[in-house]
Structure 1
Amino acid sequence: MIELSIFDVDRTITRKPTYSLFLLHAMRRHAPWRVILTPILIPAALAYAGGLITRTRMKECMHWVALGRSLAGEEAEILAEEFATELYRDGLYPQAIERIEAERKAGRTVVLATAAPSLYIAPLAKHLAIADVVATGALRRGDILTHRIAGTNCYGAHKLTMIIDALEARKIDRAKAHVRFFTDHASDRDVCEWADEAFAVNPSPKMLALAQLKGWPVIDWRTA
């Protein structure tokens, strides 16, 4: 029996959502002048709120405004490593780090599964001594990072599909695995119901209501 402990990232182990913070960090370091383009995001945000564009498209628009249509892969990785280092140092709940370590000491394999880009989640995972990451990928042209998302955004039902695909790629039989899943958000309901144990961590109001309905344990590190 393999035992897996899967953690969402934004607002579950981090104090704040990370995508906008990463783009701001990268824009300041790479092309500060691009701040003048940020008003372009207003109609995009309204279109997203109105259901006219997808979350994927919204994220691509945000990337394009902050970093442009393409960026040298080596520079992108430097920016991502800088951000991940800062995030690990100042942006995580200490209790999250302790819980991850406790899961590992209990003999469980820890996984990060998040809609955030693998670009900076992979180096963050290394800081946490986590080898397995399921995250949103970026489309590359050779060594050039583009603003396009590769495949699907690791969000909602897509996150469950990507987790299942990752288990299959690692030749892990779900029937022989015990899965714990930790998340703050009700968009992860599918993964919670698929897991053997689900934990509502720093839950949003909708997630708290769902956890109470389902009887899932609630953990809140925000008040510690």
Structure 2
Amino acid sequence: MHRFAIYDLDKTITYAPTWTSFLLLASRLIAPWRLLLLPVLGAVTIGYALKLVGRGRLKELAHALLIGPRVPVAKLEAVAALFAEGVVPGETYAGARARIAADRAEGYEVLIATASYALYVRAIAERLGVGTVIGTLAEVRDGYVLARISGENCYGPAKLRMIEAWLAGQGIARGEATVRFYSDHVSDAPTLAWADEAFAVNAHAPLREMAKARGWAVVDWERQPRNLLPLGRN
């Protein structure tokens, strides 16, 4: 029997969402002039709120506006490494890091499954000692990262499909695996319901209510006080 502990990333392991922070850092380091396009991105975000733009398309447009439509892989990997240094451990819950270590000690293979782009989450995962990331994939062509999603945006039901596809790719049937899944958001309800053990972590109100109704464990990890963070973090 295979054992997997699968974690969402944003607000489950990290204090806050990571995509916007990564975008801004990448923009500053790769093409600072693109920060002038933030008002355009704001307009696109309003379109998303009005349901005129889909979640995946919003990501693509944000990528194109703030990073560029075509960026060398090596450049983004360098930014990802720098970004991850600022996230781990300073912007991650100590409780999450401890639980990852505990799962690993119990014989679980730890994965991260996130709607965020795998292109930078892999650097965060590496610093957490996590070897597998299931996330939204950017299209890569001829050594360049394009501002287009390859496949599905790893969100909601698509996240579960991508986890199942990963298991199938490993040659593992669902009945051959025990799965724990951790998430803060109700959008992950399909995967939480699919898991053998579901954990609502730092859950917002809708997920907290759902967890209570379905008998899922509810876990709250506290933020580390800022004055206890390593020097240089802010």
Give the aligned partner of residue 227 of structure 2.
none
Give the aligned partner of residue 5 of structure 1.
5
Please give the alpha-carbon distance, in whole angstroms, between the structure 2 residues aligned to 1:50 and 1:28.
29
Please give the alpha-carbon distance, in whole angstroms, between the structure 2 residues aligned to 1:195 and 1:40.
40
Deviation at 1:43, TM superposition (A): 2.3
Please give the alpha-carbon distance, in whole angstroms, between the structure 1 residues aligned to 2:223 and 2:80.
29
Give the aligned partner of residue 139 of structure 1.
139
Please give the alpha-carbon distance, in whole angstroms, between the structure 1 residues aligned to 2:24 and 2:213.
38
2:52 match: secondary structure: coil
> Superposed, which structure 2 residues align to 1:196-207 within 5 Å?
196-207=196-207
Show CA shifts across 1:137-178 (max 9, x none). 001121011111111100000000000000000111210111
TM-score by length of 2: 0.93
Contact 2:95 2:222 in 1 (8 A): no
Give the aligned partner of residue 89 of structure 2.
89
Give the aligned partner of residue 208 of structure 1.
208
1:147 match: secondary structure: strand
Please give the alpha-carbon distance, in whole angstroms, between the structure 2 residues aligned to 1:222 and 1:214.
24
TM-score by length of 1: 0.97
> Superposed, which structure 2 residues align to 1:90-109 within 5 Å?
90-109=90-109
Give the aligned partner of residue 183 of structure 1.
183
> Superposed, which structure 2 residues align to 1:162-181 within 5 Å?
162-181=162-181
Deviation at 1:223, TM superposition (A): 6.1
**Consecutive aligned runs of 4 or more in structure 1 exceeding 2 Å deviation:** none
Show CA shifts across 1:172-193 (max 9, x none). 1210111110000000000011
The number of aligned residues is 224
Structure 2: 5+ residue stretches without partners: 225-234
Show CA shifts across 1:169-218 (max 9, x none). 01112101111100000000000111011000000111111111111111
Amino acid at match of 1:128: L
Amino acid at match of 1:12: T
Structure 1: 5+ residue stretches without partners: none
**Percent identity of paired positions between Structure 1 and Structure 2:** 40
